[in-house]
Structure 1
Amino acid sequence: MTQFDQQQLAAEAWFRSLRDRITAEFETLEDEGESLPALTNAPAAPGRFVYTPWERTDHSGAPGGGGTMGVMKGRVFEKVGVNISTVHGQFNPEFAKSIPGADQDPRFFATGISLVAHMANPHVPAVHMNTRFLVTSKRWFGGGADLNPALPHEEDTAFFKQAFEQACDRHDPAHWPKFSAWCDEYFYVPHRKRMRGVGGIFYDWLNVEKEGDFDRNFDFTRDVGETFLTTFPAIVRRRMGLPWTEEDRLALLRYRGLYAEFNLVYDRGTTFGLKTGGNIDAILMSLPPEARWD
């Protein structure tokens, strides 16, 4: 049995507990939206998460950890996935060249949570959030959260960004200018010459090499999760009862095409999952249930 150190166990436990709290809150939103008009293919009852455990085999053939895919298809959430995973083993030699600290030693450990929600009401923005802890010969945290509305409401964008700016400022005043700009840069779709969404934060390589680094950067990563949990459900409650038209629905489906293009072509998390033998359904959980390109 693989033995993990205290930092690895602490990060894994936090991501699991955050998953449990987020999914409980999302199911509560489903209950609150039970009487709202729903899509024709929506379930009659409020949605509930279905959890599917999975295991992976390292490229050498050895057991390499796994995770749990959680997916809910409901009346408020047309499709939402909240996944956790803890994987380990060795990178294949070619992929190791692209990972900090793995070029000389291909052994790795990675644990994290990944979430994408595609909403039924076009006025409720889609959202993405993930946080993770990786170990090679180096150790670091990464993650972020970004809002992806088909029909943007400036009030929602300002509320979301302000909350994450305040979260950043609680830890380091330099975080927000750097991580918000990094989000805009990372979620840019070059072939469309536009951003995927309206922004948020994105960070990576928060190293934990020095004494105190782990606690400091783990505190920040936890705050990212807590901030998401207080902001996105509030936006859902604000918008999920708004009336919408077929034109609004069409705008949503066309926007989802842009979201799918980014995740399939540019997203590093998709690449990491596929290159490390992760569960394909869990990796592609981020794709919308329906989209249009016309």
Structure 2
Amino acid sequence: MITKEQIAADYQQIQDEICAALELTDGKSVFEEEKWEREGGGGGRTRIIQNGNIFERGGVNFSAVHGQLPDTMKKALKVDQDDFFATGVSIVIHPNHPMVPIIHMNIRYFEMPSSFGTGTEPVRWFGGGIDLTPHYIFDADSAYFHEYLRSVCNAYSSDFYHRFKLWADDYFFIKHRNETRGIGGIFYDRLTATEDTSWDNIFEFSKAVGRSFIPIYTELVNRNRGKAFNENHQQWQYQRRSRYTEFNLVYDAGTKFGLETNGRIESILMSLPPTAKWVYNYQPEAGSEEEKTLSLLKKGINWV
């Protein structure tokens, strides 16, 4: 049976692989690392890249924390045990180029160790996903992104992509704006072993999602980094970042979990962009690329 120590070690390796590849892609900036310890137990490695050729700011964070679960989180997670262990890798990249998309990826594992040794099945699950938030939506990029994710999912289960794509549409939705954060991707939570899917298979799927990040994002960066842009494009980028900020502060479950469990604030809020703007009552020009992008921020679009 896979152990939490093995899961954490493999997640750290994925963090190392992603950071090395992103530094090569950027070609200028390198990651700064901060190792930290959580007061209640555990810690992590926060890695930040900024002011690069293409990455204005990004974080690739690993954490493995444990301790007492606050009552608010016990209610939210619908569990009774007090002790918990959680580990994962979380990534958000904000490029400086408006034609290059924002990307987010997370893989995580959660368990309630206090249930071990009691003769009952432990409470544990995997979660994660990857989603794309283009400032400008390009059809070919959207199709590439979703086709790649579909191929990753199909290697483990024929129904993963359909299920997790719908889940992402529902999760990455800004209710007060009635629009999706971007073009979605896949999202899953509380994924456990079944008669058809073993714990080892779910763990391998989790790692495959993590390792899909680099081929997907380097391709999208290199497709778009050479495109020309002007000040209007930049201002639109800042406005789209404000929607990203709203989602992360109002709805994001990872942000809430980190804050409720006394996580490291700088690591939790690394997902926020360095610059964002809120424009009052913005109306895009008819027929513009901005209008096209807004028209595609909807649930249920089949991108492939």
Same fold (TM over 0.5): yes
Q: Measure how far apart 1:15 and its partner are.
A: 1.0
- Which amino acid in the other structure matches residue 85 of structure 1? S
Distance 2:56 2:218 in 1: 15
1:80 aligns with 2:81: no
Instruction: Give the 3-state SS of the residue equivalent to 1:57 in structure 2.
Output: coil
Query: Could you tell me which residue of structure 2 aligns to residue 225 of structure 1?
Result: 210
Q: Measure how far apart 1:95 and its partner are.
A: 2.0
Distance 1:211 1:146 in 2: 26
- Which amino acid in the other structure matches residue 134 of structure 1? F
Distance 1:124 1:20 in 2: 23
Query: Could you tell me which residue of structure 1 aligns to residue 29 of structure 2?
Result: 47
Instruction: Give the 3-state SS of the residue equivalent to 2:61 in structure 1.
Output: strand
* 1:220-255 per-position Cα deviation (integer Å, ceiling 9, x unaligned): 111111222211111111111111111110110000
- Which amino acid in the other structure matches residue 185 of structure 2? G
1:8 aligns with 2:4: yes
1:246 aligns with 2:239: no
Query: Could you tell me which residue of structure 1 aligns to residue 118 of structure 2?
Result: none
Q: Which ranges in structure 1 are unaligned for 5 or more consecutive residues?
A: 32-45, 59-63
Which of residues 84, 91, 96 in structure 2 aligns to 1:120? 96
Query: Could you tell me which residue of structure 2 aligns to residue 154 of structure 1?
Result: 139
Query: Could you tell me which residue of structure 2 aligns to residue 174 of structure 1?
Result: 159
**Seq. identity, %:** 39
- Which amino acid in the other structure matches residue 94 of structure 1? T
1:61-100 to structure 2, matched below 5 A, reads 64-73=41-50, 74-100=52-78
Query: Could you tell me which residue of structure 2 aligns to residue 27 of structure 1?
Result: 23
Change in CA separation of 1:255 and 1:108 when aligned onto 2, cut-off 3 Å: same
Q: Measure how far apart 1:162 and its partner are.
A: 0.4
Distance 1:272 1:218 in 2: 22
Verify the 8 A CA contact 1:51 1:69 in the aligned structure 2.
yes
Which of residues 170, 185, 189 in structure 2 aligns to 1:200? 185
* 1:106-157 per-position Cα deviation (integer Å, ceiling 9, x unaligned): 1100000000000011000000000001002411110000000011111111
Query: Could you tell me which residue of structure 2 aligns to residue 283 of structure 1?
Result: 268
Verify the 8 A CA contact 1:139 1:209 in the aligned structure 2.
no
Verify the 8 A CA contact 1:138 1:209 in the aligned structure 2.
no
Distance 1:230 1:29 in 2: 11
Distance 1:7 1:230 in 2: 28
Q: Measure how far apart 1:27 and its partner are.
A: 0.5
Q: Which ranges in structure 2 are unaligned for 5 or more consecutive residues?
A: 113-121, 280-304
- Which amino acid in the other structure matches residue 90 of structure 2? S
Where do 4+ consecutive residues of structure 1 move more than 2 Å?
208-213
Distance 1:264 1:210 in 2: 38
CA RMSD for the aligned pairs? 1.4
Instruction: Give the 3-state SS of the residue equivalent to 1:144 in structure 2.
Output: strand
When the two structures are superposed, what TM-score results if normalisation uses the length of structure 1? 0.89
Change in CA separation of 1:92 and 1:209 when aligned onto 2, cut-off 3 Å: farther
Q: Measure how far apart 1:210 and its partner are.
A: 7.1
- Which amino acid in the other structure matches residue 94 of structure 2? H
Verify the 8 A CA contact 2:130 2:186 in the aligned structure 1.
yes
* 1:29-68 per-position Cα deviation (integer Å, ceiling 9, x unaligned): 111xxxxxxxxxxxxxx1110001111112xxxxx10111
Instruction: Give the 3-state SS of the residue equivalent to 2:136 in structure 1.
Output: coil
Q: Measure how far apart 1:94 and its partner are.
A: 2.8
1:274 aligns with 2:259: yes
Query: Could you tell me which residue of structure 1 aligns to residue 241 of structure 2?
Result: 256
Instruction: Give the 3-state SS of the residue equivalent to 1:145 in structure 2.
Output: strand
- Which amino acid in the other structure matches residue 106 of structure 2? N
Q: Measure how far apart 1:212 and its partner are.
A: 6.6
- Which amino acid in the other structure matches residue 88 of structure 2? G
Which of residues 130, 133, 139 in structure 1 aligns to 2:109? 133
Distance 2:111 2:193 in 1: 10
Query: Could you tell me which residue of structure 2 aligns to residue 36 of structure 1?
Result: none
